[in-house]
Amino acid sequence: MAWLEYLLPLIFLFPLAATAVIVVALRNLHDARVSSPFDAHRLREPGQSLRDRLDRAFASLFLNGALGPIITLVPMVYGMGRMLFASRQNWLEWGLYGALSTLLVLVFCLRLIRDFQRIRRLKLGLACELAVGQELSRLIRPEAHPYYVFHDVPGGDGTLDHVAVTPHGVFAIETRARTPAVLPSGEERNVVVVESERLRFPGWKERRPLRETRRAARWLATWLEREVGRTVPVQGVLVLPGWRIEDAAASDLLVVSGDGLADQLPLQHPGELDTATHDAVIRALRQRVARMALNRTSLS
């Protein structure tokens, strides 16, 4: 029966299939998320959303790196089995198996390159988030200085990197990581010019960071007004770690490098918060963070 010539070679694929099943089962072995022993809520640190994305990127790298060789061997192993059971050799068919394996090698190489680039970007973003979070931690003082800092606050369409509550207003702080340009001499060009609607980096321009920071500040102001029942002064802050800021023309936003951020925020006065509003804002933010963390826990 001719169809047996195509069916019997599948026996040689069983070891590859078993190995692939083990790889898929082990993909979630590394999960850095931990929960509080007190209330079972997920513990959140500065850059937690980036940490989660980094975990997923490493899981994708593991799958592509482990499954890639297995899958690329499938056509070749099947073709070798066909050579054993076939009544006559068809070199066009063998060439097809070889071409398919080559194509799969290229596909998984591109996927590995994509994962590597994604991990590099996420690690840079996480480093900037941690640097800003460490700087913001200097705001936390005894009761005489009522500052409160939240990290990774769930927003409308995404996550607010940091929210700082001070007696002089609330700050929606967004962090953006960009790699400075390097001259042939080895000198870094790390000067960014801030215009009203865009950032001029050495060699390129961006509008999105300013637009997203304004959107985050507007969302936070609208949400706090609905939760607290009164208007809450909110100012957006864009942090570009490692960059020198020139001509900060975005008057509604504070654009800084992040160095000395804890000293700069108390100097900003978008508005005054009385004690009742101040406490109500902190209470609303704490409830939102806890509620969203509980939802993530139930979904996972």
Alpha-carbon distance values, 246 to 59, 125, 243 (Å): 40, 22, 10
Would you state the pLDDT for residue 140? 65
- The upper half-sphere exposure of residue 218, i.e. CA atoms within 13 Å in the direction of its Cβ, equals 8
| pLDDT, tens digit, 9 for 90 and up, residues 177-231 | 888 877 777 778 888 999 888 999 988 899 999 999 999 999 999 999 999 999 9
Would you state the pLDDT for residue 19? 84
- Cα 162 to Cα 135: distance, rounded to the nearest angstrom: 11
| pLDDT, tens digit, 9 for 90 and up, residues 100-154 | 998 999 999 999 999 999 998 888 888 888 788 777 776 665 444 578 888 888 8
44 pLDDT more than 70: no
38 pLDDT more than 50: no
Would you state the pLDDT for residue 144? 46
- Cα 297 to Cα 295: distance, rounded to the nearest angstrom: 5
- Domains of the chain: which residue ranges? 2-132, 140-299
- The residues, ordered by sequence, that sit 6+ positions from 29 with a Cβ below 8 Å of its Cβ are none
Sign of the Cα torsion 237, 238, 244, 249 reads negative
Model's pTM, two decimal places?
0.65
Share of the chain above pLDDT 70, in %: 86
Instruction: Confirm if 145 and 99 have CB atoms less than 8 A apart.
Output: no
The position carrying tokens 């490098």 is 257
Residue 41, burial from CB neighbour count under 10 angstroms (0-12, 13-18, 19+): middle
Task: Estimate the share of the chain in helix, then strand, then coil, as percent rounded to the nearest 5.
Answer: 55, 15, 30
| pLDDT bucket at 84, cuts 50 / 70 / 90 | confident
- Comparing CA positions, the residue from 34, 108, 101, 115 lying closest to residue 72 is 101
- The residues, ordered by sequence, that sit 6+ positions from 38 with a Cβ below 8 Å of its Cβ are none
Which stretch, 162-171, 249-258, 259-268, has highest mean pLDDT? 162-171
| Beta-carbon count within 10 A of 113 CB | 11
| Beta-carbon count within 10 A of 186 CB | 6
Would you state the pLDDT for residue 203? 84
